[in-house]
Amino acid sequence: MIIGLDVGGTHTDVVLLDKDGLVRDIKVTTDEADLFHTVLSGIEQISRHIKPRAIERIVLSTTLTTNAIVQGNMPDIGMIVLSGPGIDPEAFRTHEHYYVVGGAIDHRGREITPVDFDCLKHVTKKLKDSGIRHVGVVGKFSARNPIHEQKVRDALKRSFRRVFLGHWVSGSLNFPRRIATTFLNASVYSTHKKFFKAVRATLEDRGLHIPIHILKADGGTMIFDASIKHPGQTILSGPAASVMGAIPFSDKTEEAIVLDIGGTTTDIGIIINQGPVLEPVGIELAGYKTLIRALKTYSVGLGGDSAVKVVDGRLEIGPERMGPAMAFGGPAPTTTDALRVLGKINDGDLEKAATGIKGLAEHLGISVTEMASQVYSTFCSEVLRYAQMLVDNINSKPFYTVREYWEGYTIKPNRILVLGGPAKSFADELQRISKIPTTVVPKWGVANAIGAAFARTTCEVTLFADTQRGILTAPEEDFFERIDSSFSREDAERKTLKLLKRKALGRGASRHDLETEILESSQFNMVRGFSAAGRNIRIKAQVKPGLIHGYEVISRRLMDETGL
Amino acid sequence: MLRAKRKTGLIFFPAFDWAIDPTHPEREERLLYTQDQAMEEGLFDIEGLVEFKSDLVSEKDVRRVHFCVPDVASVMTESHFISAGSAKRMGVAVVTGEVEKGFAIVRPPGHHAKRVVHGARGFCNVNIEAIMIEYLRTFHGIRRVAIVDTDCHHGDGSQDIYWHDPDTLFISMHQDGRTLYPGSGFPEEMGGPNAAGRTLNIPLPPGTSEEGFLYVLENVVLPVLDEFKPDIIINSAGQDNHYTDPLTDMNFSAQGYARLTELLKPDIAVLEGGYSIEGALPYVNIGIVLAMAGIDYSKVREPDYDPESIRQSEDISRRIRQVCDEVTDIWQRRYDITRERQEGKEYEERVNRIFYDTDGIYETQHETVRICRECAGALRIDSSSDRGNRIMAVHIPKNACEQCKTAGFRWYEQAEPSLYRKIYLQNRPDDEFVEKVP
Ligand SMILES: [Zn+2]
Ligand SMILES: [Zn+2]
């Protein structure tokens, strides 16, 4: 059996699945101040009367690291940055204890300037004097050659408890994002480790000796042990869980918009041929632009409980939430109240809902029912407008080759999948306005937790070969080899896939779920003085985000049960 | 956090799958390290720097500028359509106010492409700046344009296209033509009889360094721009003046290019040449982008940058001062020179012999321009190549007066069909292009 758990802002959804489908699902109230208790009570309630041995897999999606970052609730750490020529690294300062030390590597991974160890000594002393225990070290072009980061780490080893290196975070080039990501990894490390160690200890006490899978922003999982080096990857897993939860109900030939409509926000994502669309570089959170792989999602402040008001004769919904809907004792009218007035939901106090909507109707001089309909359709149009913005954003991606131009296909969504608490009430209107077939995902209220439960382990590998210099490297994997001039792109692709499989298994993947894909493969002839000097090869491959082997049976059952 | 003082658009089209041939300087690898550097610097994450998607030009856009022999499709590849389209997209973004400044980092380049195109010369097939400019003139009400060409090679293609146009100021600063391709670009090449002094050439001695380039900018280019009052300034931003460029002999640097850009304040920059693909381009391009956007560029330097070792000699400085004085004099006397050259003439003729070095084609042109005090003058080119293609091209300028329109139509009607493979008419006032195949 599989447990899937997704912590949301107000509720935490937990599901238990077996080969026959959904065994049970529950919701527990999220206590932001004590997520540990929230998660444990969720697991405890869902697994009550189940033999521990029957549980084979557990996947947790939490808001732990996201909250820590958004609230700035992070211990003080140190950052040491080695920059070469280019933009002044002062521009990328993360916080007070941020130091620039001499040392530079160029775009080919060649050393330009050696590390300034004298300066490093001073910085080390300053950091130690400030009581700092964790340090991030990031060099420009370390994704091409991490030697400086490694040398600095060796020099710091004795002075600090843990050192995080920039080249671990990604094989992609982007120095400022590498700095921000390493900063976040170092900053949330203690919180993350403490939390999951405690969860693991408690589960083991109860006889659950299985690795804990943690959901990442890219809709894939990694096991706890692997997450220690990369705790930042666990941010914003919530929207990813929603998209993964919709995948089983989209078709192989579809381009689908996923809408997870909640109380405060609506999360929007895109699925193409059952695969989620990823961010091209990495996700942004609380002003930190990172290299963290993530699904391309968009969160808008439009939920069932978003406040509705009339401003200058115009209806405005969200982004703030003043409390629950008036139907449930809240202070301001909401879309939920409109749904209640229109009879699309039957929970909550009709009279209170109507009072709220009436207040709006008076501003516009229309009837309460008309007002409620207007709120209802405005909400849906707004959600669709944001969805269209996301589609346009994906479609405006630049191309760098003639081939990409000719291939340059654009997304034209032909399905909308809705989930979240009030999903069912919105589907018809969304379909009417968008003229796109709209489906409510079975078990829409907990589909996100089902998505987490089914998510497979994902990862990415970037490989770089330079036959002129005779080097083959994947710094992120600590992989370095000498090659000769005959090394080809095919060799490089093979090597990349081999490294990728090894990495995925180490992060908790099952052998059945190694669906790999070459994302980028390019080869450039390097010419110096009118004759060929070598080849410059770049390969990037991933385990595609998707669902684990065997999910189809379970999701088909869910569809049958719901009569879809 | 980094923020652009001026919202700046970027289009990056490195054409990673296009080359003239595998070991040619204009090959796939050319912008690879620039892309690496731009990505590693996180350029596209800077607030106020907006990356635009490349676009295409249509054949019609090309025919507004060029007479392609025998037709557009034969002289252009997809890369040319995209590279010109990207320049055009950048231009539109700037004139419509989507962004304040724009830089098209694209290849293939275009500044050696002249009005008649039989093939490729100086790695260029079509003039991507001119295609952009004529598009903006047709659809966005732009009239007065200044092109400042800072490529190391003389921008002879742009010069040819705007030779007769008093509404286009073309200034080229480049390595002395006696020492470098294409061998032209001397001060006495100052434009046709209807636009004398609106073409300004500033040849610079080999070894010119930051000091020399900035001297030219401050003492000639900026004062001339001030007086000309263009609606927009285009920078043909070639980067082969760099001290590491393998094809040239100059001593310019990334810091120098950035400072030049900061002073010039171009509305739109378009990449031209630049073949030091590792030692220069990554740093020069970053420097130009930052300078355009108004972001600190003081730490953008080549790894081996040493201002002392590239400093120009006093002799070079003296020669630069001399040529600047000469060009300033031409500029100040431009109306007198125009008057003198128009005096008592109805037409002026010139013979141009053009070598397409990239494709190995020889062309001979007999050009006739109508002397006109009201417009750029109707233009007729009788062009034949050693490939046996002889064509007649008639150009009626955008703001043509009635007499020049009549003259143009008459040339087109009366061309002797048996002599030509094709007869073309570029009717800019009506934005029409017609051709007859005898
Ligand atoms: Zn050049
Ligand atoms: Zn005229």
User: Which sequence spans correspond to the domains of chain A?
Assistant: 2-71+191-240, 78-188, 459-543
pLDDT at B69 over 60: yes
What number does CATH give the domain A2-71+191-240?
3.30.420.40
- CA nearest to B10 within chain A: A398
Q: How confident is the model at residue B129 (pLDDT cuts 50, 70, 90)?
A: very high
Largest CA distance in chain B: 68
Find the CB nearest B78 among A176, A402, A524: A402
What are the tens digits of pLDDT across the range B332-373? 999 999 999 999 999 999 999 999 998 999 999 999 999 999
What are the tens digits of pLDDT across the range B160-212? 999 999 999 999 999 999 999 999 999 999 999 999 999 999 999 999 999 99
Beta bridge partners of A294: none
DSSP secondary structure letter of residue A406: H
Taking phi over 0 as left and psi of -120 to 50 as alpha, with beta for the rest, A270 belongs to: beta
Note the pLDDT of residue B235.
98
Find the CB nearest B28 among A107, A140, A524: A524
Q: How far is CA B428 from the centre of its chain?
A: 20
Cα(B17) to ligand 1 centroid in Å equals 21
pLDDT at A562 over 80: no
DSSP secondary structure letter of residue A423: H
Q: What is the mean pLDDT of residues A136-143?
A: 98
pLDDT at A542 over 60: yes
Ligand nearest to the CA of residue B408, numbered in listed order: 2
pLDDT at B94 over 80: yes
Torsion A23-A26-A31-A37 (CA) sign:
negative
Question: With contact defined as beta carbons under 8 Å apart, do B273 and B151 qualify?
Answer: yes
| Chain B closest-CA separation from residue A107 CA (Å) | 6
Helix extents (H) in B265-398: 281-293, 314-332, 334-342
Ligand nearest to the CA of residue B400, numbered in listed order: 2
Note the pLDDT of residue A531.
86
| Average pLDDT of chain B to the nearest whole number | 96
CB contact B417 to A (< 8 Å):
no
Question: With contact defined as beta carbons under 8 Å apart, do B304 and B142 qualify?
Answer: no
Structure tokens at A515: 């669906």
Question: With contact defined as beta carbons under 8 Å apart, do B112 and B23 qualify?
Answer: no
- For B59, phi and psi rounded to 5 degrees? -60, -35
Distance set, CA B403 to CA A41, A224, B370, B396, B416 (Å): 91, 83, 9, 10, 22
CB contact B22 to A (< 8 Å):
yes
Question: With contact defined as beta carbons under 8 Å apart, do A307 and A318 qualify?
Answer: yes
Cα(B130) to ligand 1 centroid in Å equals 17
Q: How far is CA A363 from the centre of its chain?
A: 42
Active-site positions of B read 112
Ligand nearest to the CA of residue B237, numbered in listed order: 1
What are the tens digits of pLDDT across the range A166-212? 999 999 999 999 999 999 999 999 999 999 999 999 999 999 999 99
Which residues in chain A are contacts of B22 at CB distance < 8 A?
Answer: 525, 527, 532
Ligand nearest to the CA of residue B379, numbered in listed order: 2
Separation between Cα atoms, residue B230 and residue B9, nearest integer Å: 21
Note the pLDDT of residue A563.
61
Nearest to B6 by CA among B361, B316, B238, B262: B262
Note the pLDDT of residue A230.
95
Which residues in chain A are contacts of B255 at CB distance < 8 A?
Answer: none
Q: What is the mean pLDDT of residues B245-258?
A: 97
Tokens 């064509």, located at residue: B391
- CA nearest to A84 within chain B: B303
Q: How confident is the model at residue A409 (pLDDT cuts 50, 70, 90)?
A: confident
Question: With contact defined as beta carbons under 8 Å apart, do A26 and A4 qualify?
Answer: no
Helix extents (H) in A422-465: 423-434, 447-454
Which residues in chain B are contacts of A529 at CB distance < 8 A?
Answer: 246
Kindly tell me the burial class for residue B5, based on how many C-beta atoms sit within 10 Å of its own C-beta (0-12, 13-18, 19 or more): exposed
Which residues in chain B are contacts of A401 at CB distance < 8 A?
Answer: 14-18
Beta bridge partners of A308: A317
Residues 59-98 of B with CB under 8 A from A: 77-79, 82
Q: What is the mean pLDDT of residues A323-333?
A: 95
Question: With contact defined as beta carbons under 8 Å apart, do B423 and B434 qualify?
Answer: no
Tokens 């941020």, located at residue: A98
Residues belonging to chain B = 438
Q: How far is CA A37 from the centre of its chain?
A: 23
Torsion B123-B129-B132-B137 (CA) sign:
negative
CB contact B21 to A (< 8 Å):
no
Note the pLDDT of residue A92.
97
Structure tokens at A110: 């060649």
Which of A172, A173, A405 to mutate to test binding with chain B, by most B CBs within 10 Å of its CB?
A: A405
DSSP secondary structure letter of residue B326: H
Separation between Cα atoms, residue A30 and residue A22, nearest integer Å: 22
Note the pLDDT of residue A529.
82
List the domains of chain B with CATH numbers: 3-335 (3.40.800.20), 345-436 (no CATH)
Answer whether A529 sits within 8 Å of B246, measured CB to CB.
yes
Give the alpha-carbon dihedral of A404, A407, A412, A414, to 10 degrees.
Answer: -130
Structure tokens at B174: 């480049």
Nearest to B37 by CA among B307, B287, B291: B287
Answer whether B23 sits within 8 Å of A104, measured CB to CB.
no
- For A492, phi and psi rounded to 5 degrees? -65, -40
| Model ipTM value | 0.93
What are the tens digits of pLDDT across the range A222-277? 999 999 999 999 999 999 999 999 999 998 899 999 999 998 899 999 999 999 99
Find the CB nearest B303 among A112, A174, A400: A112
What's the distance, Cα to Cα, between the start and end of chain A in Å?
24
Question: With contact defined as beta carbons under 8 Å apart, do A333 and A357 qualify?
Answer: yes
Nearest to B184 by CA among B174, B193, B192, B194: B174
Please report the beta strands in A301-429, taking only residues with DSSP state E, as ranges in sequence order: 308-311, 314-317, 415-419
- CA nearest to B3 within chain A: A91
Note the pLDDT of residue A564.
54
- CA nearest to B23 within chain A: A530
Share of chain B above pLDDT 90, in %: 96
Separation between Cα atoms, residue B375 and residue B350, nearest integer Å: 19
Which of B40, B49, B285 to mutate to test binding with chain A, by most A CBs within 10 Å of its CB?
A: B40
Q: Measured at the alpha carbon of residue A18, what is the angle toward residues A16 and A22, in degrees to the nearest 5?
A: 55
CB atoms < 10 A from the CB of A564, how many?
A: 12
| Chain A closest-CA separation from residue B322 CA (Å) | 36
Separation between Cα atoms, residue B59 and residue B71, nearest integer Å: 9
Question: With contact defined as beta carbons under 8 Å apart, do A228 and A234 qualify?
Answer: no
Answer whether B17 sits within 8 Å of A405, measured CB to CB.
no
Question: With contact defined as beta carbons under 8 Å apart, do B99 and B89 qualify?
Answer: no
Task: Report chain B's C-alpha Rg in angstroms.
Answer: 21
Beta bridge partners of A79: A98, A136
Share of chain A above pLDDT 90, in %: 89
Residues belonging to chain A = 564
Torsion A161-A167-A168-A169 (CA) sign:
positive
Answer whether B37 sits within 8 Å of A86, measured CB to CB.
yes
Angle between helices B314-332 and B334-342 (to 10 degrees): 60
Note the pLDDT of residue A403.
78
Element (H, E) at A479: strand A479-482
Taking phi over 0 as left and psi of -120 to 50 as alpha, with beta for the rest, B188 belongs to: alpha
**What letter represents residue B399's amino acid?**
N
CB contact B11 to A (< 8 Å):
yes
**What letter represents residue A144's amino acid?**
R
What are the tens digits of pLDDT across the range A267-289? 999 999 999 999 989 999 999 99
What are the tens digits of pLDDT across the range B420-431? 999 999 999 999
CB atoms < 10 A from the CB of A100, how many?
A: 18
Q: Which fold has domain A78-188?
A: Rossmann fold (3.40.50)
Answer whether A86 sits within 8 Å of B300, measured CB to CB.
yes
Helix extents (H) in A483-564: 489-506, 551-562
DSSP secondary structure letter of residue A457: B
CB contact B246 to A (< 8 Å):
yes
Give one DSSP letter per residue of B253-277, joined into a string: -HHHHHHHHHHH--SEEEE-----T
